[in-house]
Amino acid sequence: MHVDGSRYAAIMSLDVDEHDRRSARRLGALTRTGLLHALWELPLGIPWPTEQLSLRDLDTLRAAGPGWVTIKCRQAERLYCPPGRVVAVMTSDRSLAGAVRRVSTHPPTVERIALWTRESHREYRNIVGTVDLAREQGIGVIIETDGESELIASPRAAVIGRPAIYRWWQAELVYRNWLTSTSPTGSVAASA
């Protein structure tokens, strides 16, 4: 996931029903923030009077295309659900301080993990301050050397708050990246 100039590896809990719905309708990820904002104004599966929406949101919803919202009889009904929930993000670096610094730029709406990739088994020195800082910020620290991993600090649980389109948008980014890196799950029939 690439957000605000930072790259993160992300773990997402996939909503299999929503993934299946999107696959059946040939919908991919929805990363347009304007449309996500407009969809946020609608409850899921409940027809909502279009006169209760701003003109801008209504125009955005009308241009959305099939699969995200249905508009008829002066009512809009949201079909959209997020594809899942981002659970954790992680950055890796050959410098522990660099990994902690980079992952700390992500808000604590998910678990955050700094992965320090080392090339040798030499004893670590001068990392106590960085590990203490990571713990203060709720960032987990994993040290990996030659394929072996050691958990130095556990990440703090995500800050739970009112869901917002930021969470939807991040789930859509992770979903988009997952779709582009996943092999097709259906078969293709030969055309005559």
Q: Residue 40: which residues within 8 A CB-CB, separation 6 or more?
A: 164, 165, 168
Query: Which of 13, 17, 16, 31 is closest to 170 using CA atoms?
Result: 31
The helix (run of H) or strand (run of E) holding residue 57 is helix 55-62
Measure Cα distances from 63 to 21, 32, 67, 143, 169 in Å.
20, 12, 12, 48, 19
Residues 6+ apart with CB under 8 A from 17: none
| Phi, psi values for residue 119, rounded to 5° | -100, -10
User: What is the DSSP code (8-state) at residue 42?
Assistant: S
Inter-CA distances, 17 with 22, 24, 52, 81, 144, Å: 9, 11, 29, 10, 36
User: Counting beta carbons within 10 angstroms of the beta carbon of residue 63, is it exposed (0 to 12), middle (13 to 18) or buried (19 or more)?
Assistant: exposed
Q: Is the pLDDT of residue 28 over 90?
A: yes
E strand spans, 79-166: 84-93, 111-118, 139-145, 148-153
Tell me, what DSSP letter sits at residue 75?
Answer: E
Q: Which residue has the higher pLDDT, 164 or 21?
A: 21
What is the sign of the dihedral through the CA atoms of 157, 161, 163 and 168? negative
Could you report the per-residue pLDDT of 119-178, keeping only the tens digit for each? 766 667 778 899 999 999 999 999 998 888 999 999 999 988 766 788 999 999 999 999
Q: pLDDT (tens digit, 9 = 90+) per residue, 62-107?
A: 999 889 999 999 999 999 999 999 999 999 988 899 999 999 999 8
Q: Render pLDDT for 176-192 as a digit per residue (tens, 0 to 9).
A: 999 998 765 544 444 33
* pLDDT score of 154: 96
